[in-house]
Every structure is written in structure tokens, then in C-alpha cells.
Amino acid sequence: MSEKNLLGRRNFIKGFGAAAGVALAAPAMAVSEKADGVKWDKEVEVMIIGSGFAGLAAAIESVRQGAKDVHMFEKMSYFGGNSAINGGLYAAPGTPMQKTEGVKDSVDRMVADQVKAGRGVADEALLRHVAEHAVEGLQLTLDAGSEYHPYLQQLGGHSVARTYQTTVSCGAGITQPLYKECKRLGVKAHNRSKFEGFLVGKNGEIEGVKMRQNYHFGEDQPGEVLNIRAKRGVIMATGGFGQNVDLRMAQDPTLTAEVGCTNAPGATGEGMYEMFRLGAIPVHLAHIQSGPWASPDEGGFGYVSNYTIFNFPHSMAVHRLTGKRFMNEIADRKTRADAELSCRDEKGEAMPPLLITSYKHSKKHPNTKKVLKYDVGWKFDSVEALAKHFDVPLKPLKEQIAEYNSYVKSGDDKQFGKNMTKAKGKYIEAPFTVVRLWPKVHYCQGGVQINVKAEVKDSFTGKSIPKLYAAGEVTGGVHGVSRLGSCSIPECIVMGMTAARSVMKA
């Protein structure tokens, strides 16, 4: 369990710093061109770029709205994008399961939770639009065949339990059914197809795009570029830029290549940058979210993330050097990530804190077996064994466990004000399961500004760029400073559907 390579907080860039994680071959001049005189190689009705939650929902909804010729382009060899490897968590207010479990919730309440996490600068109109259509979006996934655990979760920053999770505890539990539904509906899905810029008409409208065929991600010899016309318009669902080290370091020099990232490798942001070249407004690029549920002992999202998301409500996080709690285990993501990053020794070296859970409660989550099997989590029969293994001071740790258990009993966390509802009766008792925590780059709150029609605004004219729509992580401002967990999938699904409705109305 080496502490190496966790991160060098404030590992300063000199000049422009390190090269991008993925080299991007592109000319220096704006990539988009005027469509005037362009020879079109192909024509489609609705063009969708990206095949994650937003792209898939846009494709399905386009067909539902009457489109006959919908094309979805994906630069990677596989479909599903970064969505396919996310946690599969879907928050919605007023769901059937909330009724079953007796949870009182509303659009207002969900929006208020998100505005709070967004530190006052979230776009409330967009949050409300998504919350109002979240149940409808959930239904779209159910109709396509997605399956969810038969219980709700209350994730950090949410004031009530409102989160569904796929039975496979992964976004693929949504992207795969949606992809199948797309195929069933006749959507043409093209992989290895890389967006290379817009073709812009006389009035600034998006007439089509340049699309590289037979593209092999990260390789040097990509294929031919076709000019493809999009009769109704283009929906950009190209995702975030968490894997583009150079671009994320431009926003935060501490997010070096050594900092872990949960995203799929294709999350490199060139779709977003191309929209800026058109005149789209960059919003909140500086707000990059690190997931506080990640483990330094495995790559990417791994097994631990979903394990901890499930277990945080009835677990106790402690600082290794003190044996004491240091945060509300279900505070919003930014609050927790900042608290974890502050767990260091006197030299400033990272000391990943421990999440301690009673084995009898943790084992209810399917990932617990894998966490133990792959040595990214450990089981201890006594607090003494736990303390010895991690070199935690025993006496303070014992006292902390006793104190925490008193809050489980009283329902009142006097240390950090944690909502103890979901911890009821779940005392911290041997045997324990323990994982280590350290944040990883997870989500880009920033992107292009859109409105509730998924239209993209031009910075000069203040008007929407004709025939251009954007949905999902490529857009910015929706969540403000910090996105709440399980709020990305509803956003992607709802805004993808919204973009489809707009493109079919235009």
C-alpha cells in the first residue's frame, strides 16, 4: 500500500506544462469551415454526435418524434462513451419507489438540493427543466429494458432518498438497453467516426459536419473525412474533458496526469472546443469535480466507488493519523473531496483516509466480494487488527467508534451533522470492511452554455446558433460549482430528449 503517485498537489506547470494525455491531431486555424461550395458526401435527417446517455436518448426521442433517418456517430470502437462505465445512478423526484418507501419529495426539493451544492451559481432554469422531466426520462430507460435495484439510495447532498441504481451497478445497465432500442428503431449507429468540425451556412446555421471514417483512437493514421449534411440539425452529445490532462490542468494545475480519473479514455473535449470556435459561451470550465468515493488502490471508477456510495450512509470515515472522523460522510461531493484531500501528514504527503463499515451491512452490496477479492478493501475481525494494519492510533479510534455509535442511536450526529436516517440501527461493529479513499477526477461541470431547449448561444449575437443543439456533460452551468451524485444521468437523458424535440420542431 504505497502512498506514491497519489498526487502532487500543486505540482506546478512551467510554461504550458505537460502535453495532453491524448495527442490531438488538428490544424491551428479554426477547424470549422463555411459550407459554401462544399461537396456533400452524404445526407442525413438528424445527426447525433456521441453515444452516451444524452446521444442515445436523443436518438430514441428523434425517432419517437417522427424522424426517419437518424444517425449517431461515435469516435471510439465501442458505443456508450463514458456513460457505459459510470455508476448507473439515477435521481428523480416523485418516483413510484419513493411512494413505496414513503419518501416525500418534489421537483422543488431536488432543485433546492442541487442549487445548494452548486454554491448559488447553478442554472436553476435548467435544473428545474431536468427535475420536471426526470421521471419521464427514467421511464424511457425502463421502456428500453433497464433494470434497477428494488431499493432507493440517499446519496451525498440529497436531502432524501431519490436515487435508483441499475442492477449491474453500472451505466452499461442503461446504455446497452438504449443502444438496443436505437437499433430496433432503425437508428444508424456508426463507430470509429470522429467529428472534425462544423460546416456552416451563410446565416451561421450548422449545415453539416466533417466526419472522419475508420478512425482509430490514439493512433496516427486515421481514415478519410466525409462531408455529411444534416437536414434538421446536429445534436452534440460529445461529453466532458476529464481525460484531457492538458485542458484540465489549464483550469486546475493540480490535476496532473498523476491524479486518477474515473472517465473513459475518449473524454477529451474536442467537441466542446469546436463549439467555442463557433462562438458558444464557455461556462464554469474551472469547476472540475473529483469523486470523493474513489480508491487510490485501483484504477478508474473501479469496484470501490459503488461500494462506498452504497455504504457511506452507515459508515464512518476516519483520518489515519488521528483515528478521528473528519467529515460528514454524506456531504456533497466537493465538501467531501476537499476534506479527504486535507488528510495529510506533517510533510503534506497524502494520507488516504479509511472508510469503516460493519461487514454485515457492507456485504449487502454486490461489489463487497470483489473489493475483498482484488485487495482493494480489507476485512478485519477486530478493531485491534484494523488499527494495527493501517497504523491508526487504537485508543482514539475506539473512542471514535463508540461516539459515532451513540449518534447512530440518537439519530443526531453532533460531530458533522450527518443525516443519520439511513444509518438507523446500523452500528459500527466487528467484523469490519475497510477501504481507502482518495478523490479522482470525475466530472466536468463546465461546457457550452445552453438553454432549456438545448440550444447553444452565440457569444456575440446573444442568439442561438441555428441548427445546433447540445446535451449532457459537454454543456456547462447546469450544476454550478458542484454536481450532486446521480444527477448526471437524468440530465443527460432529459436534455438528450429535449434536444431531439427541438431539432424535430425547428
Q: Which residues bind a copy of itself (CB under 8 A)?
A: 9-10, 12-16, 19-20, 24, 26-32, 34, 115, 120-125, 200, 203-205, 246-247, 250-254, 270, 273, 276-279, 281-287, 446, 449, 451-453, 457-463, 465-466, 477
Give the type of residue at 10: R
Q: Residues 59, 182: contact at Cβ < 8 Å?
A: yes
Nearer Cβ to a copy of itself (425/462): 462
State the minimum distance, in angstroms, from the CB of residue 51 to a copy of itself: 22
- Helices vs. strands in the chain: H and E counts, helices first: 14, 19
Q: How far apart are CA 296 and CA 300, in angstroms?
A: 9
Least distance to a copy of itself, CB of residue 40, Å = 19
Cβ pair 480, 118 in contact under 8 A? yes
Residue type, 94: G
CB nearer to a copy of itself: give 28 or 150: 28
Among the listed residues 446, 477, 40, the one whose alpha carbon sits nearest the alpha carbon of residue 226: 40
CA distance 500 to 471: 10
Q: How far is the CB of 35 from a copy of itself (least distance, A)?
A: 10
Could you tell me which of 242, 351, 342 has the C-alpha nearest to residue 289? Answer: 242
| Residue 333: active-site member | yes
Question: Whose CA is closest to 133, among 104, 111, 149, 160?
Answer: 111
The amino acid sitting at 261 is C
Nearer to a copy of itself, 1 or 30 (CB): 30
Q: Which CB atom, from 24 or from 394, has the smaller least distance to a copy of itself?
A: 24
Q: How far is the CB of 210 from a copy of itself (least distance, A)?
A: 14
CA dihedral (53, 58, 59, 62) in degrees, to 10, reads 160
Residue with Cβ nearer a copy of itself (274 or 298)? 274
Q: Write down how long the chain is.
A: 506
Question: Minimum CB separation from a copy of itself for residue 437, in Å?
Answer: 20
Instruction: Provide, rounded to whole angstroms, the least separation between the CB of residue 7 and a copy of itself.
Output: 12
Distance between CA 307 and CA 332 in Å, rounded? 17
**For a copy of itself, which is the closer residue by CB, 15 or 102?**
15
- At closest approach, how far in Å is the CB of 462 from a copy of itself? 6
Contact between 195 and 75 under an 8 Å Cβ cutoff? The reply is yes
* CB of 314 or CB of 333, closer to a copy of itself: 333
DSSP 440-500: EEEEE--EE-B-TT-EEEBTTT-SEEEEEEE-STTB-SSSTT-PPTT-HHHHHHHHHHHHH
- The residue (of 205 and 403) whose beta carbon lies closer to a copy of itself is 205
CB-based contact 317:156 (threshold 8 Å): no
Considering the complex, state which of residue 132 and residue 403 has its C-beta at the smaller distance from a copy of itself: 132
Question: Is the CA virtual torsion 262, 54, 216, 180 positive or negative?
Answer: positive
Report the alpha-carbon distance of residue 130 to residue 147 in Å, rounded. Answer: 21
Nearest 5°: the CA angle 78, 81, 85 is: 100
Least distance to a copy of itself, CB of residue 217, Å: 16
Active-site residue identified among 212, 248, 333, 336? 333
b/e map 258-294, b = 16+ CB within 10 Å:
ebbbbbbebbbbbbbbbbeebebbbbbbebbbbbbbb
How many other CB atoms are found less than 10 A from the CB of residue 19?
10
In the complex, minimum distance from the CB of residue 18 to a copy of itself, in angstroms, rounded to a whole number = 10
Q: Which residues are catalytic?
A: 333
